[in-house]
A and B are shown apart, each in its own frame.
Chain A
Amino acid sequence: MGTLKKNWQFHLMLLPSLLFLIIFNFIPMGGVVMAFQNFKPWLGISGSEWVGLDNFRYLFERQDSIQVIWNTLVIAVLKLVFNLSVPFVFSLLLNELRKMFFKRFVQTLVYLPHFLSWVILGGILIDILSTDGGIVNRVLVGVFGIEPIFFLGKGNWFRFTVIVSDVWKEFGFGTVVFLAALANINPSLYEAAEVDGASRLKQTIHITIPSMIPIAIVVGTLALGNVLNAGFDQIFNLYNSLVYEKGDIIDTFVYRTAILNGEMGFGTAIGLFKSVISMILILISYRLAYKWANYRIF
């Protein structure tokens, strides 16, 4: 009681946030019981019929849900690999620029797409990638003389477009953390290497890259916890019924089945499946990041 008296102000400060979290985070967590029901909105949670694990059984029997889980993994893993490697290489190249103003100029332009939403970028991409006169196909046809490519309408091209456009949007922003790591490398290492006559390539291989590996491991490990988030905003704003088979991911599938088709119990079951796996992955990745690099969120 003594501590409560001393710290009442702290509790009062946390109260508003806590109320918000209870209403918008913790109460919905309780709602996952719907995953074990044949939920009908007009009957509510108390009135709906309990069906045990039927929704989950159904989840692993349905062809489309298996496909969706697979799509999610494929798209997310490819994004993880490229969103790690492209910024890594790009920051090395950026680091070689000697003129400060030029470096700033490049940085300014490559960071920008990160801040634009997928609605804006989706609108732009749909326009420039279209087969009837989109600027990309105009260039491809005009310069290389090939058939127009149906980027957003053919399954494998769709996946390709999703990965490339995501890398395009995020690679610049991804360099921030690597550039910070580059700036922290001890200059005397390079001076010593210069005296020994090491070429720039040798310096990069033996000094720069090894110094960046730890931060790359942290970034990669933390991204691992996110691997079931394959990018709802992006997919939702780029896809169409032609590419559901290769492009549908868990989050977009939940929206379509639960909200649009009203299969609420089933939708909750997939959502719960995703939340549980994600939580396990996040806990593992944080554990690893802490172990390898002493990384803590706070």
Chain B
Amino acid sequence: MYHKTLSYRVFNVINICFMIIIALLCIIPLVHVLAVSFSSKAAADANLVGLWPIDFTIESYKKTMSNPIFVHSIWVSIKRTVIGTGLTLLLAFLAAYPLSKEDSAFKGRNIYSWLFVFTMIFSGGLVPFYIVIQKIGLMDSFWVLVLPGAVNVYLTILLLNFFRGVPKEMEEAALIDGAGHFRVMFSIYLPVSLPAIATLALFSMVTQWNSWFDGLLYINNSKDYPLATFLQTVIIQRDMSSMSINPKEMELISTKTVKSAQIFIGALPILIVYPFLQKYFASGLVMGSVKE
């Protein structure tokens, strides 16, 4: 009934316009960067580019992709994303299964869960962590990007909440038939929790791809940086040394368009997995709010 009143109709029109503006504001900055990356040096340096490329060219992408340091950093990022996500999921899966059991079925569960949760609420801070990384010789190694964050307690909790929803009868039947818990875990829990695992995988991938501080902190040789750290030093700290543009090239291409191309390439994997993320993340969040 209220739909037909004049005041609601006026509100509705204003609301729709407002929503369009807000929604566009969320992607306009990205569109601008994309436009700059495809524009010519002259147009970009003269600040003429708005939301559409001027004098369309792919020169900046050619330049970016011919920089061996940049290409190598993409490779490091892909490697850390694949290995890091795999390890995180494996550990979360292994830990979530026993932690999802009732206290009566698994004595000691409480001690373990407190140890896990305690790491979420207290930490030694940056400096002791840094010293530990140094002492165990992880500095400057690829593994420093993957190992320290391998256990993700938050994702583990999401997964164990999901496990609690799995019907107990299947498990009991299997246990009576003589299956061990490893068997139950891999042949019953793994198949039914694939959607949940896919959700966690997407989240973990985004985290891995976006991580930059560990690279900056623990890797001294900028040639081994993951892409996010590379972008941080080149674009935020304006350290042009690894951009490998020589003075002659400077006349032909602008650092502005090259930076824009690099930013866009850095965001691209997220944009590609985004449709999947969007589909899953609401259910992922709901998983987290399941109560006992």
Query: Residues of B contacting A108 with CB < 8 Å?
Result: 278
A119 touches B235 (CB 8 A): yes
A-B pair count, CB < 8 Å, reads 263
Q: For the complex, is A90 an interface residue (Cβ under 8 Å from B)?
A: yes
Residues of B within 8 A of A200 (CB): 2, 5, 8, 11
Count of chain B residues with Cβ under 8 Å from any Cβ of A? 99
Question: Which B-chain residue is minimally distant from A195 (CB atoms)?
Answer: B1
Q: Is the CB of A20 within 8 A of B151?
A: yes
- List the A side residues contacting B150 at CB < 8 Å: 20
Contact among B50, B126, B213, B266 with A120 in the assembled complex (CB-CB below 8 Å): B266
Q: Is A96 an interface residue (CB 8 A)?
A: yes
Once A9-B180, A200-B8, A258-B126 are accepted as A-B contacts, the answer to whether A120 and B231 lie under 8 Å apart by CB is yes
Q: Which of A11, A119, A232, A295 contacts B231 (CB 8 A)?
A: A119
Docked CA distance A110–B274 (Å): 12
Query: CB-nearest residue of chain B relative to A138?
Result: B47
When each residue 181-218 of chain B gets 1 if its CB lies under 8 Å from chain A and 0 otherwise, what string results?
Answer: 11001000000000000000000001001111100010
B123, A275: Cβ atoms closer than 8 Å: yes
Q: Does the CB pair B263–A199 fall under 8 Å? A: no
Q: Which residue of B lies closest to A90 (CB)?
A: B22
**Given A94-B19, A176-B282, A109 contacting B122 (CB threshold 8 A):** no
Residues of A within 8 A of B112 (CB): 14, 18
Question: Is A208 part of the contact surface with B, judged by Cβ < 8 Å?
Answer: no
Measured in the bound complex, the distance between the Cα atoms of B121 and A274 in whole Å is: 11
Nearest chain B residue, comparing its CB with the CB of A32? B124
Q: Known contacts A9-B181, A20-B150, A268-B125; is A27 also within 8 Å of B22 by CB?
A: no
Chain B residues in 8 Å Cβ range of A3:
107-108
Interface mask (B1-34 → A, CB under 8 Å = 1, otherwise 0):
1110101100110011011101111110110110
Contact between chains at B126 and A31 (CB < 8 Å): no
> Do A31 and B128 touch (CB < 8 A)?
yes
Point out the residue from A112, A258, A275 that lies within 8 Å of B122, measured CB to CB: A275
**In residues 184-212 of chain A, which contact B (Cβ within 8 Å)?**
194, 197-200, 203
Would A168 and B25 count as touching, CB distance under 8 A? yes
Residues of A with C-beta under 8 A to B278: 108, 111
> Are the C-beta atoms of A115 and B274 separated by less than 8 Å?
yes
Contact partners of B148 in chain A: CB under 8 A: 24
B236 at the interface (CB under 8 A from A): yes
Considering only residues 215-234 of chain A, those with a C-beta below 8 Å from chain B are 232-233
Residues of B within 8 A of A34 (CB): 127-128, 131
Cα–Cα distance between A9 and B206 once the two chains are bound (Å): 32
Cross-chain contact A13 with B132 (CB below 8 angstroms): no
Chain A residues positioned under 8 Å from B131 (CB to CB): 28, 31, 34, 41, 264
Task: Give the docked Cα–Cα distance between A28 and B136 (Å).
Answer: 12
- The reply on B97 being an interface residue by CB < 8 A is yes
Q: Are A20 and B91 in contact (CB under 8 A)?
A: yes
Of listed B8, B128, B274, residue having the most chain A CB within 10 A: B128
Question: In this assembly, does A51 line the interface, its C-beta being within 8 Å of a C-beta of chain B?
Answer: no
Residues 76-132 (chain A) with a chain B CB within 8 angstroms: 90, 93-94, 96-98, 102, 105-106, 108-113, 115-117, 119-128, 132
Which residues A264-298 have CB closer than 8 A to chain B?
A: 264, 267-268, 270-272, 274-276, 278-279, 282-283, 294-298
11 example contacts (A-B, Cβ-Cβ < 8 A) are as follows A14-B99, A106-B19, A109-B23, A109-B27, A120-B231, A122-B235, A124-B33, A133-B47, A232-B213, A259-B126, A295-B291
Residue numbers of B with Cβ under 8 A of A are 1-3, 5, 7-8, 11-12, 15-16, 18-20, 22-27, 29-30, 32-33, 36, 47, 50, 91, 94-95, 97-99, 101, 106-109, 112-113, 115-117, 119, 121-132, 134, 136, 147-151, 156-157, 160-161, 180-182, 185, 206, 209-213, 217, 228, 231-232, 235-236, 256, 259-260, 263, 266-267, 270, 274, 277-278, 281-282, 285-286, 289, 291-292
Give residues in A with beta carbon < 8 Å to B.
Answer: 3, 7, 9-11, 13-14, 16-18, 20-21, 23-32, 34, 41, 90, 93-94, 96-98, 102, 105-106, 108-113, 115-117, 119-128, 132-133, 135, 138, 168, 172, 176-177, 180, 194, 197-200, 203, 232-233, 236-237, 251, 254-255, 258-259, 264, 267-268, 270-272, 274-276, 278-279, 282-283, 294-298
| 7 A-B pairs closest in CB distance | A31-B128, A271-B125, A133-B47, A28-B124, A117-B210, A10-B98, A123-B235
